[in-house]
Structure 1
Amino acid sequence: MTLAPSSLAKGQACLDCRRRKIKCDGVRPICGPCYRAQRYEDCEFGSTLNSKTPSRMQRIENDIALVEHRIMDLQIHSSLPLQTLRRDHSGRNGVQTNSTQTQVLQIALETIVARAEEIGFFLHLPKFRSLCFGTAGSRERPPSALTDSICLWAAVISPSESLRKPENKFLARAVQASTTISASSHRLKILYGIQTEILLCQYFLHKGRLVEAQYHLSIAVSFAVVGKLAHIGSTGSQFTFRDSIERGEYIIGYWTVVALDGIWSSMLNFPSHFGSESILNADTPWPLEMDTYERNPPIFPPMNTVRAFMENVPNEKEPSRLSVLAKAAILLQKADCISREWQPNMSSRDSAAYFQRFSELNERIRTFRVNSPNTLAGYPPAFKPRVILAHSVAHVATLQLNRIFMANAQCRELALASCKSIVWTIHSADWKSMAHIDPIIGSIWSTTAGMLFEEITRIQTVPGAAAVVADLRNGYDEIVLSVSHFSKDSAFMQFQLTQLCGN
């Protein structure tokens, strides 16, 4: 913590103390009054009267407002006009009766099970089913925005024309109803809000509609921030859970958002709403597999979860699939941030400090890759896409960090080794037997192919390099074929294929 001055200049108090009209001591990162009141997440200094730096919540709100304006511009020219999103969705105007809606939702839940991890559905399915089809009018019943989002994905996935046909209707209803969750009095509105927005942002990415995808991810992040989900289990936290399953749902929901934010910000050049430094303060425990929460596992005290991970402190015997993915995403985001910090005109002192951080992160990524499960064997088909994504994210983190120094032989070797590891992952995945995969992996694989293409171009005229060039071409071709395979299912993957074919 930094020491506070004896008397604060006007506007130097933290935002929360100013809102509560109490005296602030100015201690950072958490002032005394906020620390004693256990208002850790509310204590922010980024928006004082003398500062031009917005607070984290203000950055999120600004990003959301910007994307909302862009969405409005798109809707003016869209085949789904804005008026469509304002239609009544209570059951009138041709929408199904309650009994039909129940039947459709039952079918939809069965339809998405096989792709639940891929599309971001993380809730405990048996419990969710009982809440959906339990007592009518129950305050625990999931909101229509969430059930419509599930039906929307079922319409995308289902081979049944009768379920696929109302896709636009489900989309309109889900998007419109999603705007009402935050204002509701539902006990689980944070949890259900995150789940709804994740399903919607994944849908829009699948469709290649990146503006809307970014918008709905922003809303998911805002739910996580407002709900203070980075500090589940912290001393003095106000969380009360009905059971260990509900606790697990919140933990899994939080890390799902963290993983998406880290991967998308790095691979799609979206603004990160958490940031690699902010996420270091998270002490919510790493997620377990959902069936572990069914067994009421012991609750351990908070442990500076992310900071301990970055310092390579061992804390998990058997990491879950989501835990591995979230860690890989954090490393990727950190690699992206450090690569952007490099300036050719740095002073000797700054340059030395930079390369110290650079080397430490390279080593941390290496140890993470070595210690992570290194096989794709044994995973059921429903779990395989997430494992492939986690492997790909971990390897592309090395590529992202080292590619700006390709003139350096060691950095080039590390970058190319990570590319070959991704090609090995693709080959080992037996992708021809898979029908679907998370579309964000298309961006990772395209980045990898781009790196291979650059290296092929660089050495193809070098004497004696024919065997190396042939090996690189085989890797490049494997990526193109795999992206082509999955592009039949996703507009975003189709776009990535178009980019590859332009090389």
Structure 2
Amino acid sequence: MTQSFLTSSPGSHSHRSNLPRGKACMNCRRRKIKCDGKKPVCGQCIRSPGTAEDCEYPLEGRSRTQQLEETIKKLQSRIGELETTVNDGQSSIFLHEPYDGGDPSFMAVEIPQFTESWSPSGATSPSSRVNTPTSASSSSSLILEEPPRDVIERLVDAFLGNFSQVGFFLDSSAFRHSALLPFPFGHHERPSPALLSAVYMWGCRLSRASDHPVYNEDAFLVCTLQNIHQDLGGRHPHRVVHSIQAEILLSFYYLNLGRPVEGIYHSSAAVSLAISGGLHLIRSSQLPPPPCFGVLETPFPPATDSLEEGQRINAFWTVVILNNYWVAAHGSPSAIPYHDTPIDTPWPLDLEDYVSPVSAFPLYSTPNAPPMPDYQQLFEIVGGGSTVSNFLGGLNIDGFSPLAMLSKASILLERAITFSTRYSDHSDVGAFDSLDALLEQFLLGLPIGIELGGDEVPKRSLVVTQTLTQAAIIRLHAHRIHTSDVSRNKHLSAAKAVVHIINDTDLSQWRHIDPIMGILWTTACEVFVAELARIQSFGVLGRLTRQHEELSACLDTVLSSMKAFSGTSPVIEYFAARVERAYEAVSRPV
């Protein structure tokens, strides 16, 4: 049984003094403190905030860097497997060399037949699967020139107008300018081939242009896949940052389609690139990691200005958000072990605030949350990796931009899921209470929509942030609702809060929404369905109660929102159908 964070190990001193060299856990090594070597959790980690569950001992002969490099090797190998053609296994993408002044570039594209689709972890195969759009069989091919300027402009504007609120960390105006430059595809002054193809792909989906016989979503998807592993080996001056952005856009695309295998793969690739590039140690006193083979032959050069540094900071936190989305969407383990990976990169800002830091985010910088309970001050704040560990330790004293708050909410959801998965009983009351208090404090510190005025981008981010936090409360308390009235009340109240968020937001003005909302809304609906099933056991009398009417109204509200976005998000469409079937099942007469 894992001990509470507030409990010390009685035998820690005797074990610690005789511990052989090299046998300390990874947390104690990183913090450069003595470790008692006790397993499964050492005494130092038990006394530290949020580290007990991640106390790990290294495998013999394999350091963290070596493990990371092995992961990158596997990812690169898997990229090659996914992106070779079905027939001959050879890449069919041909890029013009932009530096030799030759003819305009072109892309030879093969359209594969994609068959895998959403299958939630631990669930049976759904009766109706999410289909990936495809316009040709696996053997069909075409030669695709880059679209004309007017088409490029339409696709780029459709993307930036709908997607910039999350998942895109580059400067929008600078990206648009470079994308429209009259240079060939792959030129060093334009975005990298994979990134530009990914933006075209998303532009098709967001502008309803997928039915074009040539410039359609399918063709640009394959262009992106076939360029993504070539870009890193090229000479583009922004190859690494643009590759991270392209991986993020691909992963979000597969999340939107309900394709977890490909989505998690590209998310993991983005994490590996970000960590190997040292984006988690921006402005850190720690030494950057050594260059990784084949990915970064030389370390990241210093940022040339504050905007470039800001883009790198925002790139890292966008990767964090995406990683946590997949933990929530599919139950896959986090690719970022937060207490094993030192994270010193500061919380992100809006890009314009890196250039003109003048009282950024006045509405966010004065949170109205009360101080944490006194027992939080007993926590020993972890040394290295202070950004995340300080936040999890209760020191929420900075980082109040929309992107920062979204990052924090996603971390809280990941922590709640990880905790509830590892500790399904009451074995760690101290850690449970700590995370529960942190969630309450964070929720009280969020602004309300009316404070943001007419600025739609922060409003959209706030809706996702609020819903992520309520989903974290649901997931944390889910395994205690049958043994604790407090947990049952918080569990249901958080689900109802999701409905209040919907009622307080004019979603009719949005054509596209963050695809994670489909999973978060489903989490709330599962609470209502379970409550309705409980009431159903009372027979006809139960259905006549006010509580039954309220729960039904909540389900109707969430389902209505899910159906409104089903046309642009197959994953939301899939989960809406699943919720509707469950709703119908508990509504049948007994």
1:226 to 276, 289, 304: 276
2:302 to 237, 240, 254: 240
Cα distance 1:67–1:356, how it changes in 2: closer, same or farther (>3 A)?
Answer: farther
**Aligned counterpart, 2:29:** 28
**Aligned counterpart, 1:146:** 195
Distance across 2 between alignment mates of 1:85 and 1:383 = 41
- Correspondence 1:320 to 2:397: no
What secondary structure does 1:487 align onto? coil
What secondary structure does 2:394 align onto? coil
Cα distance 1:263–1:237, how it changes in 2: closer, same or farther (>3 A)?
Answer: same
Cα distance 1:298–1:424, how it changes in 2: closer, same or farther (>3 A)?
Answer: closer
Distance across 2 between alignment mates of 1:135 and 1:372 = 44
C-alpha distance after superposition, 1:250-287 (max 9, x if no partner):
111110110111122133212310034335x3111111
Letter paired with 1:188:
H
What secondary structure does 1:28 align onto? helix
Cα distance 1:139–1:433, how it changes in 2: closer, same or farther (>3 A)?
Answer: closer
Deviation at 1:124, TM superposition (A): 0.5
Distance across 2 between alignment mates of 1:106 and 1:496 = 33
- Correspondence 1:369 to 2:448: no
Letter paired with 2:494:
S
Cα distance 1:339–1:473, how it changes in 2: closer, same or farther (>3 A)?
Answer: same
Distance across 2 between alignment mates of 1:312 and 1:180 = 43
1:392 to 451, 467, 476: 467
2:257 to 179, 192, 207: 207
In 1, are the aligned partners of 2:80 and 2:229 still within 8 Å (CA)? no
Deviation at 1:135, TM superposition (A): 8.4
**Aligned counterpart, 2:388:** 306
Tell me: higher relative CO, structure 1 or 2? Use CA pairs within 8 A at least 6 residues apart: 2
What secondary structure does 1:234 align onto? coil
What secondary structure does 1:385 align onto? helix
- Correspondence 1:355 to 2:429: yes
**Aligned counterpart, 2:111:** none
In 1, are the aligned partners of 2:349 and 2:404 still within 8 Å (CA)? yes
Deviation at 1:123, TM superposition (A): 0.5
* Structure 2 unaligned blocks of 5 or more: 1-14, 34-55, 97-104, 109-141, 289-300, 361-383, 583-590
In 2, are the aligned partners of 1:131 and 1:140 still within 8 Å (CA)? yes
User: TM-score if structure 2 supplies the norm length?
Assistant: 0.70
Distance across 2 between alignment mates of 1:502 and 1:69 = 40
Distance across 2 between alignment mates of 1:151 and 1:188 = 19
Deviation at 1:374, TM superposition (A): 2.7
Q: How does 1:120-269 map to 2 (within 5 A)?
A: 120-133=167-180, 136=183, 139-160=188-209, 162=212, 165-235=215-285, 240-269=302-331
Deviation at 1:104, TM superposition (A): 3.6
- Correspondence 1:108 to 2:155: yes
C-alpha distance after superposition, 1:46-82 (max 9, x if no partner):
342399x996516744874897699589x86xxxx88
Give aligned pairs, total: 461
C-alpha distance after superposition, 1:445-482 (max 9, x if no partner):
11110111101211345568811221111111111111
Deviation at 1:430, TM superposition (A): 2.1
Distance across 2 between alignment mates of 1:323 and 1:70 = 36
In 2, are the aligned partners of 1:241 and 1:247 still within 8 Å (CA)? yes
Deviation at 1:113, TM superposition (A): 1.8
Distance across 2 between alignment mates of 1:262 and 1:268 = 10
In 2, are the aligned partners of 1:146 and 1:196 still within 8 Å (CA)? yes
Distance across 1 between alignment mates of 2:529 and 2:81 = 34
Deviation at 1:331, TM superposition (A): 0.7
In 1, are the aligned partners of 2:83 and 2:226 still within 8 Å (CA)? no
Cα distance 1:313–1:164, how it changes in 2: closer, same or farther (>3 A)?
Answer: farther
**Aligned counterpart, 2:50:** none
Quick check: which one's helix share is greater? 1
Distance across 1 between alignment mates of 2:346 and 2:164 = 20
C-alpha distance after superposition, 1:395-424 (max 9, x if no partner):
111100000011111110111111011111
Q: Which moved more, 1:247-256 or 1:54-63?
A: 54-63
Cα distance 1:495–1:47, how it changes in 2: closer, same or farther (>3 A)?
Answer: same
Letter paired with 1:424:
H
What secondary structure does 1:275 align onto? coil
In 2, are the aligned partners of 1:268 and 1:443 still within 8 Å (CA)? no
Deviation at 1:323, TM superposition (A): 0.7
- Correspondence 1:273 to 2:335: yes
Distance across 2 between alignment mates of 1:400 and 1:357 = 15
Q: How does 1:57-68 map to 2 (within 5 A)?
A: 57=68, 60-61=71-72, 64=75
2:569 to 490, 494, 497: 490
Deviation at 1:355, TM superposition (A): 0.8
Cα distance 1:412–1:30, how it changes in 2: closer, same or farther (>3 A)?
Answer: closer
Q: Which moved more, 1:226-235 or 1:303-312?
A: 303-312
**Aligned counterpart, 1:476:** 555
Q: How does 1:374-453 map to 2 (within 5 A)?
A: 374-375=448-449, 378-407=453-482, 408-453=484-529
Distance across 1 between alignment mates of 2:88 and 2:520 = 33
Deviation at 1:138, TM superposition (A): 6.2
The percent of aligned pairs where both chains have the same amino acid is 25
Cα distance 1:173–1:68, how it changes in 2: closer, same or farther (>3 A)?
Answer: closer
Distance across 1 between alignment mates of 2:466 and 2:429 = 26
